[in-house]
Structures are given as C-alpha cells and as structure tokens.
Structure 1
C-alpha cells in the first residue's frame, strides 16, 4: 500500500478527493488511470464524446443520459476531480463512515443517489419530470425490449405506460413528478444496490 499512497500523491487533489468521496488510494489510482485512458488529447479534460469509448455506456440504452449527468448545463468538459465526484454516487453506501462535520451528505448516500437518478429523467433541469421526459425514457427502454425480446409495442401502449407511471407517482396531481414524489415512489427500491458499480467497491 506504500507504493499506492506515494503514487496517489502525484494526482492533483487526491487526498481531498479521498476525504470527500470515501474512495481509497487504490480507487483514486484506478480512476485516474481510467480518466487518462479516456482523455485522448491529454488535455486533462473529458468531453461527452470521450465517454462513448466506455463500452458499457455505448451499449447502455440510457448511456447518453448517464454521460450528460457528468456535465452541468453549459459545461462542455469535466476535469478529474469532477469525474471522481460524479462516480462517487455509484460507490456502495458506507454506513460506518462518519461525516466528520461535512456540510452535506456524501455523494454515495441514498438521498444523493436518488437526486442523481432524478437528474437523468429531468433533462431540462427544471426540478420536475414532465410527461414528455418520462415518455422519452419509456420509449428508449421499450426500444431495447423490442430489440432484445422481439416485442411489438405500439405508440398507444407507450403512452399508456407513461400515463400510468405519472398517475402512480404524481401525488399532488400537477401532471409532473417532483423530487419528493420520485423519492416516495422509489421507497421500496434498494437504490444503493441499483446504483453501485462493482469496481468501486
């Protein structure tokens, strides 16, 4: 581990990132290597097209939404520190880790994972998931099912699926899903399990 910690000292802000995200020195080193592999032009910044090289994202039906989650509106690149902070959402929750007076929940807390997932639906970032945004995601999911299972789903069936999801989650009947409604609709889902990446354990 001595060599890991001495190598991690060569990574900008590594100690700070380890404290903030809960990643170990070995994780930071591994993430730094992956970041450098994606950074084809060696600029120290990643662009959305750099993420397409990640096979799992290229094959994922919502890969474009996952990639867009790395970038805030009007942001065209991501540096290593931002890359690590986003990936921290996918770390399994460490229930024993103290927050040491931290100002906010760790990125891998259940609430932060839910907020991250919510942003993947809320494409216009207005704080609500509209019927159109939900329909767009349902359409992508159904296209994958069509390809995998040869299912035939009509436009009316797509609309019906989106309508039912809105009706079940939209508790205040304003025709959109707020973050609180989204959170309540997923109370029985193990978000930590669903939003964990194996290599980040």
Structure 2
C-alpha cells in the first residue's frame, strides 16, 4: 500500500486525475511510465512526433487524427494530465456504474465516446461532418481498396442516411442517432493494462 502511495506522489494531481478519469492508481502509474518513455526530451511534455513513434498510431489509417485529438488548436505539446484525459475516452465503461446526474459526465461514457469520435471527423470544428470531411476519413481508411468513385458513393449514401435535416452535413445529433445500434462502448475501448 505504501509503495502505491509513494508512486502516486510522483504524479502531479494524481488523485484528482483518478477521480476525473476513473483510472485506478495502478493504471495511472503505468500510464505515467508510458508517458515518460514517450517523452524523448524528458521535459514533461509530448510533441506530435512522440506519438508518431507509437507503432499502433503510425500504422493506423486515422492515426494522425487520433494524435491531433491530444492537442488543442495551436498547442504544440501535451502534458501528462491532458494525455490521461484523452486516453480516458478509451477506458472501458463499467457495467454496474450507477447514473449520477450530480457528477460530470465521464469521458468513457457512451456520450463522451461519441463526442470524441465525432471530433475525429469534424476537423474544422464547425459542429458538422461535411461530405469532404467524411471523404477524408474514408480515403484514409480504405485507401487502395476501393476506387474514388466508390468512395464518393459511400460518402453520399452515408450523408443521405444520417442527414435528417437535409443540410448536406451530419450534426452531432444525427451522428449519435445513426450510431444508436453500434456498441460504441466496445468499439472505443482499450483494455488498459489489466
């Protein structure tokens, strides 16, 4: 018990981060170790290049979008608390978690995961996924597997099916409704060092 407590003393704002993100002390400690390993300059901040060295991100077709989700516009580095807050979106949801409306929404809630996924598409942050933004993701994910004409057709069909207000874009509400039958908790969960 003392060892865990002393490890946590080396992590800035550890107890607040555990409350905010739902990570256990052991998970937070391991994430801190990973953060330090990725921090090649040893300055306590990660740059986009540090993330690009992670094989799972460098080989992911939308890895650049995932990496950019760690950084606010104009931000060049990310500190440990910000790193953990983004990773919390991928923490599996507890099955027996009771809904408490007095607590802020957890990043790993279904709604938190949907908002995060929506932002991966909505690169211009205008609150809508345009046909071009959808095409960019489809191109990245399906690159050599389909023709440009097939990509255009897929994007058009997706917009037609999800665009309930017929403004030729997908709002967050439309995005959420189109994914009602998808198990977003499962799709956006990573087992964090079980």
SS at the partner of 1:76?
coil
Question: Does the aligned pair in 2 maintain the 1:113–1:191 contact within 8 Å?
Answer: yes
**What TM-score comes out, normalization by structure 2 length?**
0.94
The Cα of 1:2 is off from its aligned counterpart by: 3.5
Corresponding residue for 1:137? 137
Corresponding residue for 2:108? 108
Q: Which runs of 5+ in 2 are unaligned?
A: none
Corresponding residue for 1:90? 90
Corresponding residue for 2:13? 13
Summarize the alignment of residues 12-161 of structure 1 with structure 2, pairs less than 5 Å apart. 12-97=12-97, 101-102=102-103, 104-143=104-143, 146=144, 151=145, 153-161=146-154
Question: Does the aligned pair in 2 maintain the 1:166–1:176 contact within 8 Å?
Answer: yes
CA distance in 2, matches of 1:95, 1:77: 34
* Cα deviation digits, residues 44-79 of structure 1 (max 9, x gap): 111111101111001101100100111111111110
Summarize the alignment of residues 146-185 of structure 1 with structure 2, pairs less than 5 Å apart. 146=144, 151=145, 153-185=146-178
Find runs of 4+ consecutive structure 1 residues off by over 3 angstroms.
95-101
Question: Does the aligned pair in 2 maintain the 1:93–1:108 contact within 8 Å?
Answer: yes
CA distance in 2, matches of 1:79, 1:140: 28
Question: Does the aligned pair in 2 maintain the 1:4–1:26 contact within 8 Å?
Answer: yes
CA distance in 1, matches of 2:147, 2:97: 48
The Cα of 1:6 is off from its aligned counterpart by: 2.1
SS at the partner of 1:163?
helix
SS at the partner of 1:198?
coil
SS at the partner of 1:37?
helix
Q: Which runs of 5+ in 1 are unaligned?
A: none
The Cα of 1:96 is off from its aligned counterpart by: 3.5
Corresponding residue for 1:195? 188
The Cα of 1:200 is off from its aligned counterpart by: 5.3
CA distance in 1, matches of 2:39, 2:25: 21
SS at the partner of 1:196?
coil
